[in-house]
Structure 1
Amino acid sequence: MDKARDMVREKRAVITALGAMSGTSLDGVDAAVLRTDGVTIHGFGPHDYRAYTDGERDVLRAALGHWHGPALDPATRVVMDAHTALLGRFAAVDLVGFHGQTVAHAPRLQGTLQLGDGAALARALDRPVVWDFRSADVELGGEGAPLAPFFHFACAKWMGADGPVAFLNLGGVGNLTWVDPAAVRPEDEGALLAFDTGPANAPINDLIQARRGVPFDAGGRIASSGTVEAGALELFLAEPYFARIPPKSLDRNDFAEMVGLVGELSDADAAATLTAMCAAGVAEAMQHCPRPPGQVLVTGGGRHNPVLMKMLDVSLDCPVRPVEAVGLDGDMLEAQAFAFLAVRVARGLPTSCPGTTGVRAAVGGGTVSYP
């Protein structure tokens, strides 16, 4: 284990890091290997996925919005069991980045809460584990989210972008990262602007689960036969959040009333309207970009929804493409991001900055636990 400590602290060494992400869509755990020195992407490795069962998803959903109480213990067991089983499949890994499962996020009030014990995971995997990525940022006045932008900056460099580009992650909540690849470091002033755009898949998933008993609108098939309710969309866009200057972030349930706005609509019309709300939130967000990006690269589960992608294509003034168009993996980008961030934490490099979370100064979050 001393060798592992020395390797992660060696500034120039390329580390084989394994990142894991369990998002607010509550679909399952993604895990992916990345080779990096914490600055440059040197290669992508194997990846895997472990879906939550319906029962596990119910346990996690019951914990949402809770800061303490009896709902958290069973949810933590689900998170730990799923991650231990999935991450244990990977060999020849130097370091693990463990995000855990966000169940509550209110940085200006109570903070941010991710379930999971990185120290216990380090013992179970016999590998160093970096975890608790968000707390330090929140303690210094930041939103604690989004955290993937520093990796997006590295991705823009890796793909050879010659002008501003935007990464749009459509998970449970949507978030946008505007990148200027001409900057030297992600923490440099003007290099990044990142913030949550609004709800994405979470309200659609919750609606479909409640009405149809399935976890999501596969391929946007339900929404594709519906009509958008303009009045509900107008009420949605009147929310004060959209007028706030970024950086800014959301909890998964901050827009829970959206489902109420479509409560009287048919399944198809309700799904179409919630999907349009997601796209409209992104269109509003684009107005905050310092300069228009040359393209918007979409990652996360939302890019598999052709109805949503078409709405984005119509709404935005630049090409909208899945990240696969530039050689990245949109299913694993978030997991790769936490592999990247794990190496940065281990080496004392910042993981967020004023342009990404509103934190007062560039800060490196995270805790490193050794077996």
Structure 2
Amino acid sequence: MRFQAIGLMSGTSLDGLDICFAAFEKQNDWNFQILKAETLPYPENWEEKLRNSIHLSPEELLELHAEYGFYLGEKVREFIDNNQLEHIDLIASHGHTVFHQPQRKFTLQIGDGRAIKVQTGSPVIYDFRSQDVLMGGNGAPLVPIGDELLFSEYDACLNLGGFSNISLKQDGKRIAFDIAPVNIVLNRLAQKFNKNFDENGDLARKGAIDQDLLTKLNSIEFYSRSHPKSLGIEWCCEHIFPLLENIETVNAMATFTEHVAHQISEVINKNNLQNILFTGGGTYNTFLIEKIREKTESAIIIPEKEIIDFKEALIFAFMGVLRFNNEINVLASATGSTADHSSGLIC
């Protein structure tokens, strides 16, 4: 059984649209091959639209949902044409998260999959999170199904994106949860220096740790809660950003980096993990990685660039393949929903 699929991922840190074309084959186990992948940085107008989407009226948000769907379709069409791709079984799109409030039974990822279908003519699977939220889950993290079936040689898989999340085996079940915000905060602070992100963590490295701020950050109630649990930008607006006001920016960056490293290493050490696969844009933040290494004796595995950059897009392509075959692609042990299920709208 072999499938070729395109996965689309837009993270909360708005560093661009990840497109991954991969082949999946199942014999006894699933294996994969990334055939072509690239990240398309958002033009300034699109970055602004997506960043401000949380403030739109209902009508404006519906308009953006369709407009962004056509934008995704256009970019996929260009990706297919430029790389002369053939034999595409399906396109799986995560969309861009605007709202994520599972406790209130809703999550919203914009980018209408039907518009992608109109642009490309290929079957499209989208809206992977809503069903899980309606089933009592967090709608996140979803990538653990890929960690379980494609990356099982590691004790855990940890993603450093807008938020950090981890997936690991516990008592024979795959569990997963968000650990802490990462780039959604650090990038916002870097923008005060007219930078999209803090390359290598160099700005944070110049700052001094504010012990009072660090104590406040580490005392936030979320960190003491048991899994499953997930985070959204609304949570950051309420609990993180107010604490960083009136703090010199480089000191805020240094302190927040220390905070993230502390929270991640706590999880690693508590679960006695021997080797952890690190992926996501935050993996390039050498200052953050150094801080984590200082706090744990576990082996931190940093893979080739293709896996660092495109693991999430790869797994959404894989989730699309599983959904296309009506196989389980969301694990209740990871999200907290009432049962494992096959999620995503097909068009």
TM-score, structure 1 as length reference: 0.85
Alignment gaps of 5+ in structure 2: none
Equivalent of 1:235 in 203, 208, 216: 216
Q: 1:287 offset after TM fit, Å? A: 5.7
Give the secondary-structure state (helix, strand or coil) at the position aligned to 2:309. coil
Q: Distance in 2 between matches of 1:137 and 1:100?
A: 16
Alignment map for 1:48-59 (pairs within 5 Å)? 48-59=38-49
Task: Deviation per CA, 1:136-173: give whole Å up to 9, x if none.
Answer: 1111111000111111112324xxx2xx6111111111
Task: Deviation per CA, 1:207-241: give whole Å up to 9, x if none.
Answer: 222x2222211221111111121211111111111
Name the structure 2 match of 1:46. 36
Structure 1 residue 36 corresponds to structure 2 residue 24? yes
Worse-superposed segment, 191-200 or 81-90 = 81-90
Equivalent of 1:171 in 161, 185, 188: 161
8 Å CA contact 1:34–1:41 kept in 2: the answer is no
Give the secondary-structure state (helix, strand or coil) at the position aligned to 2:318. helix
Q: 1:74 offset after TM fit, Å? A: 3.7
Q: 1:263 offset after TM fit, Å? A: 2.4
Name the structure 1 match of 2:307. 329
Letter of the aligned partner of 1:271 in structure 2? M
Letter of the aligned partner of 1:343 in structure 2? V
Structure 1 residue 96 corresponds to structure 2 residue 91? yes
Name the structure 2 match of 1:6. none
Q: Distance in 1 between matches of 2:214 and 2:254?
A: 10
Equivalent of 2:261 in 279, 295, 305: 279
Alignment gaps of 5+ in structure 1: 1-12, 181-188
Give the secondary-structure state (helix, strand or coil) at the position aligned to 1:142. coil
Q: 1:264 offset after TM fit, Å? A: 2.5
Structure 1 residue 25 corresponds to structure 2 residue 20? no
> 1:143/1:279 Cα in 2 relative to 1: closer, same or farther (>3 Å)?
same
Letter of the aligned partner of 2:135 in structure 1? L
Q: Distance in 1 between matches of 2:314 and 2:135?
A: 25
Identity of aligned residues (%): 29
> 1:67/1:347 Cα in 2 relative to 1: closer, same or farther (>3 Å)?
farther
Q: Distance in 2 between matches of 1:54 and 1:200?
A: 22
8 Å CA contact 1:152–1:179 kept in 2: the answer is no
Give the secondary-structure state (helix, strand or coil) at the position aligned to 1:48. strand
Q: 1:66 offset after TM fit, Å? A: 6.1
8 Å CA contact 1:48–1:86 kept in 2: the answer is no
Give the secondary-structure state (helix, strand or coil) at the position aligned to 2:327. coil
Q: 1:37 offset after TM fit, Å? A: 4.3
Structure 1 residue 253 corresponds to structure 2 residue 262? no
Equivalent of 2:104 in 109, 114, 118: 109
Structure 1 residue 218 corresponds to structure 2 residue 199? yes
> 1:261/1:345 Cα in 2 relative to 1: closer, same or farther (>3 Å)?
same
Letter of the aligned partner of 2:312 in structure 1? E
8 Å CA contact 1:50–1:86 kept in 2: the answer is no
How many residues are paired up?
Answer: 339
Task: Deviation per CA, 1:88-121: give whole Å up to 9, x if none.
Answer: 4222121111111001101011410000111121
8 Å CA contact 2:145–2:331 kept in 1: the answer is no
> 1:84/1:355 Cα in 2 relative to 1: closer, same or farther (>3 Å)?
same
Letter of the aligned partner of 1:130 in structure 2? I
* C-alpha RMSD of matched pairs (Å): 2.1
Q: Distance in 1 between matches of 2:214 and 2:327?
A: 42
Give the secondary-structure state (helix, strand or coil) at the position aligned to 1:253. helix
Letter of the aligned partner of 1:47 in structure 2? A
> 1:177/1:65 Cα in 2 relative to 1: closer, same or farther (>3 Å)?
farther
Alignment map for 1:1-371 (pairs within 5 Å)? 13-37=1-25, 40-64=30-54, 68-71=58-61, 73-74=63-64, 77-78=67-68, 80-90=70-80, 91-92=85-86, 93-157=88-152, 161=153, 165-179=155-169, 190-209=172-191, 211-256=192-237, 257-286=239-268, 289=271, 292-324=272-304, 329-369=307-347
Q: Distance in 1 between matches of 2:110 and 2:138?
A: 18
Give the secondary-structure state (helix, strand or coil) at the position aligned to 2:343. coil
> 1:354/1:18 Cα in 2 relative to 1: closer, same or farther (>3 Å)?
same
8 Å CA contact 1:149–1:192 kept in 2: the answer is yes
